[in-house]
Amino acid sequence: MKIAIASDHAGYQYKCMIIDHLESIGHEVVDFGTDSAESCDYPDFIIPAAKAVASGQCERGIVLGGSGNGEAIAANRIHGVRCALTWNCETAELGRRHNKANVISIGERLTPEGDVLKIVDTWLATEFDGGRHQRRIEKIETLSQD
């Protein structure tokens, strides 16, 4: 799978760890930055990654920051992106099963290091349930264009 990834300075350490993990299990990763832990503005990196997912250049995306909130907000501004803020395996699974999340946001300052790869793996392995959830996804797509 081709996965977009981006972070600000506060998510940089986990971003590097996730890239290594994803590549080790055979995924192709497109890194949209940042390239250091030096202070920066997350929209500069998150928006291009989200656009790559929305356009189909990448199948899914992972965005990271201190809390993950700003990154999720920025990613969700891009039509076609459904970014779930995840802080454990359950939120990652439900974001995918019920919301067909094609992007997840993780807060490095709020997520224990031992959990981050489990969250990513859970989200990647989880299928969308469809059914009544598909109807809701369609409404999001339709109503958000008004």
Dist. CA 97–CA 11, nearest whole Å: 25
| 27 has catalytic annotation | no
Amino acid residing at 51: K
Dist. CA 133–CA 125, nearest whole Å: 18
Q: Are 5 and 60 in contact (CB under 8 A)?
A: no
The DSSP element (H or E) to which 48 belongs, if any, is helix 43-55
From the list 23, 27, 79, 98, the catalytic residue is 98
Q: Are 117 and 22 in contact (CB under 8 A)?
A: no
From the list 71, 108, 113, 127, the catalytic residue is 71
| 9 has catalytic annotation | no
Which of the residues are catalytic? 71, 98
